[in-house]
Amino acid sequence: MPNPFRRHSHSRSAKRRSANRLKLPGLAKCSNCQSVILSHRVCPDCGYYDGRPVVVIKTKGKEK
């Protein structure tokens, strides 16, 4: 199996590595409560998805 004959320069290695970066998450606003949420997910604040209630969110309150 052949081995590299010459050393790769710093700029050549850096150019190759420039594509290996973290991507920002796709954020959107909830159509019901306007809070920032991840795209294509149910809103954790109000439980709406695509303008419809999908999940019932329990509110934190005093238990009796």
**Rounded Cα distance, 19 and 32, in Å:** 37
pLDDT (0 to 100) of residue 62: 67
Amino acid at 24: L
Contact of 49 with 41, CB cutoff 8 Å: yes
What tens digit of pLDDT does each residue of 12-63 get? 999 999 999 999 999 999 999 999 999 999 999 999 999 899 999 887 776 6
> Domain map of the chain by residue range?
23-58
Encoded tokens for 3: 């081995």
* pTM of this structure: 0.59
